Amino acid sequence: MDMAKKINVAADIIWIRLNVNGEMVLRRLRTLVRMEKSVFYQGLGWLAREGKISITKAGWRTRISLIKESEIT
């Protein structure tokens, strides 16, 4: 599988996990999806670039959540 396909699959897995579980702390999300670290972060980047996730920082914690279609302007 080429790298672009791996990243696309990673983004799909991350999206599904967030859709099922809702907002999550980055560390917990990373633990749940179980994939190579670099592919995981590239998948997050893919979703962020497409405007599908929100990334917020609160103290030491980074939270990731899906942006619902109704929230997109």
Q: In this predicted structure, what is the pLDDT of residue 57?
A: 94
The end-to-end CA distance of the chain, in Å, is 35
Number of structural domains found in the chain: 1
> Domain limits at 12?
3-71
DSSP letters, 28-70, are HHHHHH---HHHHHHHHHHHHHTT-EEEEEETTEEEEEEPPGG
Q: Average pLDDT of each block of 10 consecutive residues along the chain (73 residues)?
A: 92 97 96 95 96 94 89 55
The confidence score (pLDDT) of residue 69 equals 74
Q: Which domain CATH number covers 47?
A: 1.10.10.10
- Please choose, from the candidates 73, 6, 70, the residue with its C-alpha nearest in 3D space to the C-alpha of residue 38: 6
